[in-house]
Structure 1
Amino acid sequence: MLLIISMFLGGFSHQALAVKGVVFIHGTGYQTNAEDDYWTSDFINSIMSGNNNPHLVINCDFEQYIWTERASVCVADQIYRWGLANQITELYLITHSNGANVVRWILSNPTWDSRYPIIITATQNVTAIAPSSGGTPLANAVVNGNIFEQSLGWLLGYASDAVQMQQVEWMEYFNEFWLLGTDGRSLPVPFKVVTGTDVDSSPFDGDSYCGGYSNQVALEFTQNWLDSCSDGFLECRSQEAAGSVWFRDKQVLNGSEPLSHQQSRRACFGLDQIIRNNI
């Protein structure tokens, strides 16, 4: 193990040029083909176009608690093996939703797994798109609500361990004791947040069809459980509870469009181009 670690870290001092690798980390759910089923290849290919950086799309079981073997340890194993195979010296992580919590666990708990310090050292930047850093009342509704509220499971994955954890009071506890990134608890790497602030679902507005019109209608409905500033799944204050805000959707996107929780993992309104240019 020490030899392997030294080989990975050796790239920092012995390679003439840095090799930057880009990693896409999905949100809640059990993924076996996240490129097609979660992100879409259009989104990933657009972000990666114009450069030769290797990229990795994580496939792990994020129905579990974030610290488990099938969640954060799975992420670390996939990044570690891929990093060695591609001689990666710098990591650029792109997360969506609960994927940001998984990454924060790795960054906050370096002694949990021997691969965590290696990944932390290599990570240059985390772009957290619509992170569920402060949890969501929708998780509370699914776990503790009536039958009607529990039908919101289509969005969350029903009352899995991951949904349990994303209840507001649970995330308050983890942010206080286990996860860095909130006020006074700095992360070891930049953690830049992209915030979705609203949902448009007018059938007469073509922008409402990016990411699927039916998803927009459903997310506007779930806003009934949330503050007016939300992406249909997460309130703005939850998305901005950890790290630093890179931008809110309407500030920079084409047409000053908002990003729903579905649209923020799609090539909508120039989001893909902004991330590509940042890489």
Structure 2
Amino acid sequence: MGVAFVHGTGNQTDAYNDYWTGDFVRSVMSGNGSRYTVVNCKFEEFMWTDPAAGCLAGQLTNFINAQGITSLNIITHSNGGNVVRWIMSNPTWDSRYPNIISKTRQVIALAPSSKGTPLADAVIDGNVFENVLGWILGYQSDAVQMQREADMAYYNANWLLGTSGRPSLPKTFKSVVGSDVESSPFDGDSYCGGYQYQVGLETTQNWLDGCSDGFLNCSSQAGAGSVWFYDTWRTSGDEPLSHHQSRRDCFNLDVIIRNDI
């Protein structure tokens, strides 16, 4: 059994420390052996490109071959779920894809941007969100453009599997949905993962649905595959997970994933 951690939007060179943190990775892997890899790719590009899906396919293939992996758990976050879905939806695109699909046991998608976000439209249009969201999205990259709601509707209808009305994905793709953001300075839970991120996501949440993690509406996160659980169904203290906290060891999320794999 092996585990692959697949980051979201951005150009990562040290995702272990900069995206997931070692605390999260070590906790998830506790008792689950030592066979894991933390992917570092350029997910600033369109999902099908060589720096994105090509890079992911190469790193997963190397991990599978080097470690003799026959049962692969993929843990991904945000836009990483779209890149993984591209591989699972288009097995003839790249000769490496079929072996990755056959070895995959499941994909645990943490707050996946399966149906995009209106905030990506805002960043591309260059309005007030651009400065607020620079830390989480970047500025007007291909990946941000791809996550506009209309763009994702097109990709889901024509290239990606797993959404309503489309064929199912070949392997389990189950989502953890973040439903709210808490940023009270008097609430210790608001500091998990960094209080400053909670404040930023609380601001952007004002332009999203009532159910959102500050970056994605719940409907987007639940848009592909199946819903494993909404945050408050299973987290410690029934706490919500913001988009930032859903890649941190907050409110027992790491333990829930650990026990599942």
Please indicate the TM-score interval, normalised by the length of the shorter structure.
over 0.9
**Aligned: 1:32 with 2:13:** yes
For the pair shown, the structure with the greater C-alpha radius of gyration is 1
Q: Determine the C-alpha separation between the residues in 2 that align with 1:235 and 1:139.
A: 12
Counterparts of 2:170 and 2:45, CA distance in 1: 25
Equivalent of 1:240 in 222, 226, 232: 222
How many Å apart are 1:52 and its aligned residue? 1.4
SS of the residue corresponding to residue 106 of structure 2 reads strand
Q: Which residue of 2 aligns with 1:10?
A: none
Contact 2:129 / 2:204 at 8 angstroms: preserved in 1? no
**Structure 2 counterpart of 1:208:** 190
1:186 aligns with 2:168: yes
Aligned equivalents of 1:36, 1:273: Cα separation in 2:
19
Give the secondary structure class of the aligned counterpart of 1:22.
Answer: strand
Please, what TM-score do these two structures have when normalized by structure 2?
0.98
Please state if 1:268 is matched with 2:250. Answer: yes
**Secondary structure of 1:71 counterpart:** helix
* Alpha-carbon distance, 1:50 to partner: 1.2
> 1:257 maps to which residue?
239
Q: Which amino acid aligns with 1:150?
A: E
1:128 correspondence with 2:138: no
How many angstroms apart in 2 are the aligned matches of 1:272 and 1:102?
Answer: 22
Query: After the TM superposition, which parts of structure 1 deviate over 2 Å for at least 4 consecutive aligned residues?
Result: 152-155
- Residue 220 (structure 1) aligns with: 202
Contact 2:27–2:255 at 8 Å: present in 1 too? yes
| 1:175-205 CA distance string (max 9 Å, x none) | 0000001023200001010000000000010
Q: How many residues align?
A: 259
Alpha-carbon distance between aligned partners in 1 of 2:137 and 2:67, rounded to the nearest angstrom = 34
Match for 2:190: what amino acid? S
Residues 210-229 of structure 1, C-alpha deviations (whole Å, 9 max, x = no match): 01001000000010221110
Take 2:115 and 2:102, find their aligned partners in 1: how far apart are those partners? 26
Q: Do 2:89 and 2:161's aligned partners in 1 also have CA atoms closer than 8 Å?
A: yes
For 1:275 and 1:138, locate their aligned partners in 2 and report how far apart those are by CA, in whole Å.
28
2:3 is the alignment partner of 1:22: yes
TM-score (norm 1): 0.91
| Superposed displacement of residue 256, structure 1 | 0.3
Q: Deviations over 1:2-51 (max 9, x none)?
A: xxxxxxxxxxxxxxxxxx11000000000000000000000000000012
- 1:53 deviation in Å? 4.5
SS, match of residue 70 in structure 1: helix
Is 1:137 equivalent to 2:84 in the alignment?
no
